[in-house]
């Protein structure tokens, strides 16, 4: 089910390096459009993750909050995460990891992506959002 989030949301592209200096975009959940915002000093309301090596599923994942609710967008499909809404899961694999959203009707929507070897090798647990952002953000949105 598409979520009812009609305003534009300011999101920042996630990156391992210089995260707070990454480009900002206005994301419209209704249309799926992303428009650049030149002022990188603004505070974002969500994260755009679009650099993973996708095997199957959405190429763009956006995590955002709007009016106290949690949302995850897979390309142009927006899901509200909550107790009576959709739920989110992540499974880290040795070769392929998977982010899965189960909507309120029980339908599964998955993003499968290559698990980079250097993330496994250099993941000391201190900054999971830098090594595995889809996993870290999905856990934050599932638990709050």
Does 1 score more than 50 pLDDT? no
- Per-residue pLDDT, averaged over 41-53, amounts to 89
- Per-residue pLDDT, averaged over 59-88, amounts to 93
- Looking at residue 86, the DSSP 8-state letter turns out to be B
Task: Quote the CA–CA distance of 72 and 80 in Å, as a whole number.
Answer: 7
- Global pTM reads 0.86
């Amino acid at each position: 089910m598409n979520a009812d989030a009609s305003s534009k949301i300011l999101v920042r592209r996630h990156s391992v390096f210089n995260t707070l200096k990454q480009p900002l975009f206005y994301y419209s959940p209704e249309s799926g459009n992303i428009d650049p915002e030149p002022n990188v000093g603004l505070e974002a309301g969500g994260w755009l993750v679009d650099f993973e090596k996708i095997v199957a599923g959405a190429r763009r994942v956006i995590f955002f909050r709007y009016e106290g609710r949690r949302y995850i967008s897979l390309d142009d499909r927006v899901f509200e995460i909550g107790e009576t809404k959709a739920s989110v899961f992540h499974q880290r694999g040795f070769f392929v990891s998977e982010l899965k959203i189960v909507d309120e009707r029980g339908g599964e929507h998955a993003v499968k992506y290559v698990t980079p070897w250097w993330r496994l090798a250099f993941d000391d647990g201190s900054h999971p959002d830098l090594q595995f952002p889809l996993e870290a953000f999905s856990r934050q949105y599932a638990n709050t």
